Chains A and B, each alone.
Chain A
Amino acid sequence: MVDFIQIVFILVSLFVLFAMYMTWTVPKTMQAAYWLIMFLVGIAVLFLLANSEIIFAFQISIYGGGISVLLLFAALLAQHDDYTFVGDSLSGKIIAIIPQLIAYALVAFNLILLPVLALTSDEYAGNITTSVLGDSGLTVDQAFKNTADFSAQLWSTYAPIIPFLAMLLLTALLGSVKLVIREWELEELSDLMRDRYKGTDREVIA
């Protein structure tokens, strides 16, 4: 029997998938960054609904807040806020979109697998209780109530997903390094900045 909280859980999961799709398909870096924030906040709400308040708090503080600010600073300071991913020609667009859709399908499959496993498995039937009001007297024996239980689940039931996520994070890291590295074109700098770039700023200041 699916109760009200489980319906909310599924709706939030769908929102997470939508935000993830938007993150990959919007043309500008800054747009991708704010959709990523929505995606991370959505994941945090899933943790809250699964009665894992501590993981919710850390997910929001570290990923929704801290990492997002770093991403936004990097995108804006590297002047990549108007960078467009999708090419102008039709073939360029197709080439750009196909790998994104494949990666999206892979991650979506894994993300859907996790809540579906949790909600349908006999092992957890009657154990996972969801609550949006925190400590409401409900007992959660096998779910993500504390970090010890969470890590135990993470490295047993969901262990196959971890290497996949690690690869994804590594790819994201390399991608972000590539994004931030920028070959400055001297023509697009102001006179002052061009002189500084050439190392003759002392003369300019004097």
Chain B
Amino acid sequence: MAEESTDQLPLESFVKSLFDPLFAGHTPGWVMVLVGTVVFGTYILINQLIAPWVERKIMARMQGRRGPVYVGKWGVLQIPADLLKLALKEDTRPAGADKVGFFLAIFLTSVTSILAFAPLPWGTEGMIPGNFSIGILYIFAVFSIFPPAMMVGGWASNSKYSLVGGFRSAGQLVAYEIPMFLSVIGIIAITGSFSLIGITEHQAVHGWNILRTQHWLMGLVLGFIFFVSSVAETERVPFDIPEAEAELVMGPRTEFSGWRYALLMMVEYLHLTINSMLFIYLFFGGYNPIPWGISQGSALYAFANNPWVQFITMSVKIYLFVAIAAWLRSALARLRIDQLLNLGWKYFLPVSLGALIVMLSVAPELRQQLV
């Protein structure tokens, strides 16, 4: 029997010790993939139940309230209780709704949100659900299904509020997807990789992209554009125009109730998590806890490469951005639709393009390649 690798994670060795007797001493890869999917999937879904509670608590404190307190200790079970209530409600569909379209909208939005987690690493070896060579392109591709799905959902609901909300949602998503992608291209060119693992490992050596001075701090400008665009993509305050409740009730989600509504709300928080994670991988060093570059011989190297440290770093960073999203939600007022589209098309698009050109022209990495 081969010696156990010292790089092996506690989780990996535990799973191997559990399944090795069943498979004559050698656990096949698909079992590891299955167990990994279940473990990471459960962790992500549990976080989807905690993140809304954290957000509600933060917003309540900022508004001088206490937030949820009744269900569980500090109200921590409020979201699972809400989920249970929604799941047990009668399943209704408006009269005249298009059956297939009504279902497809939920199916496409929820499935694509879950699929987007596939290439997101939580650490080095063993903490990677799927090492896609085109990780970042894959996520943008999967996200691009979202606008047509919301439009189909709005139309299929047979309601004017939903239809107008679907239009606004698609228009907003298209307007901010382009500056968001432009702000990513510079990072891809400098790191020379589409893989989120490659981008993160590059930052482990050279420091977090948002703080790097070699590119005249263009990482900071592109990072800001990416962050604001990602908030707009999640359709949350101050960019919640598609569901502006004073005008459109709940926008494209108006006619969805019961488990359908629960799934759509879950999708909103999944989007928040994925966009936060993308921002962390691209600009905030991913799972690296140290903001500056560390060489292999330094004392911090072993600490920064410990899988559990990386996993905890990632979780802490995600909750930091959930807290920032809650802060923005309670501190800012909603934009008007024309202000939102102007911001996307007239300001972010040219600024991100300009910052990208400056970044590419001063990047020492690209100059070395040319020489």
Q: Residues of A at under 8 Å CB distance from B?
A: 28, 30-31, 33-34, 37-38, 41, 44, 53-54, 56-58, 60-61, 64-66, 68-69, 72-73, 76, 81, 133-135
Q: Quick check: is B258 within 8 A (CB to CB) of the other chain?
A: no
Q: Quick check: is B213 within 8 A (CB to CB) of the other chain?
A: no
Q: A73–B142 Cα gap in the complex (Å)? A: 20
Given A31-B98, A60-B142 in contact, is the A53-B133 Cβ separation under 8 Å?
yes
Across the interface, which residues of A come within 8 angstroms of B141, CB to CB? Answer: 44, 56-58, 60-61, 64-65
Q: Which of B138, B146, B155 contacts A81 (CB 8 A)?
A: B155
Q: A73–B108 Cα gap in the complex (Å)? A: 18
B98 touches A133 (CB 8 A): no
Given A30-B155, A60-B145, A135-B133 in contact, is the A72-B138 Cβ separation under 8 Å?
no
Q: A58–B143 Cα gap in the complex (Å)? A: 12
| Majority DSSP secondary structure for residues of A touching B | helix
Across the interface, which residues of A come within 8 angstroms of B119, CB to CB? Answer: 134
Q: Which of A60, A61, A66, A69 contacts B151 (CB 8 A)?
A: A69
A82: min CB distance to chain B, Å: 10
Across the interface, which residues of A come within 8 angstroms of B13, CB to CB? Answer: none
Give the total number of A-B pairs whose CB atoms are below 8 A apart.
88
Which residues of chain B from 82 to 109 have any CB-CB distance to chain A below 8 Å in the complex? 98, 100-101, 104, 108
A80: min CB distance to chain B, Å: 12
B133-170 vs A, CB cutoff 8 Å, 1 = contact: the mask equals 11001101111111110011001100000010001001
Q: Quick check: is B132 within 8 A (CB to CB) of the other chain?
A: yes
B144 touches A60 (CB 8 A): yes
Q: Quick check: is B357 within 8 A (CB to CB) of the other chain?
A: no
Q: A126–B141 Cα gap in the complex (Å)? A: 30
B100: min CB distance to chain A, Å: 7
A-B contact pairs, 12 of them (CB 8 A): A30-B101, A37-B108, A37-B148, A54-B137, A57-B141, A61-B137, A64-B145, A65-B143, A69-B174, A133-B130, A134-B132, A135-B131
Besides A30-B152, A69-B151, A73-B170, 9 new A-B residue pairs in contact (Cβ under 8 A), listed by A number: A31-B101, A37-B145, A53-B132, A58-B141, A60-B144, A72-B152, A73-B151, A134-B119, A135-B133
Q: Quick check: is B33 within 8 A (CB to CB) of the other chain?
A: yes
Across the interface, which residues of A come within 8 angstroms of B104, CB to CB? Answer: 34, 38
Q: A180–B100 Cα gap in the complex (Å)? A: 24
Question: B104's closest neighbor in chain A, by CB?
Answer: A34
Question: A68's closest neighbor in chain B, by CB?
Answer: B148
Q: A65–B144 Cα gap in the complex (Å)? A: 5
Q: A44–B170 Cα gap in the complex (Å)? A: 21
A203: min CB distance to chain B, Å: 26
A51: min CB distance to chain B, Å: 10
A41 touches B145 (CB 8 A): yes
Across the interface, which residues of B come within 8 angstroms of A134, CB to CB? Answer: 119, 130-134
Question: B29's closest neighbor in chain A, by CB?
Answer: A136
B115: min CB distance to chain A, Å: 10
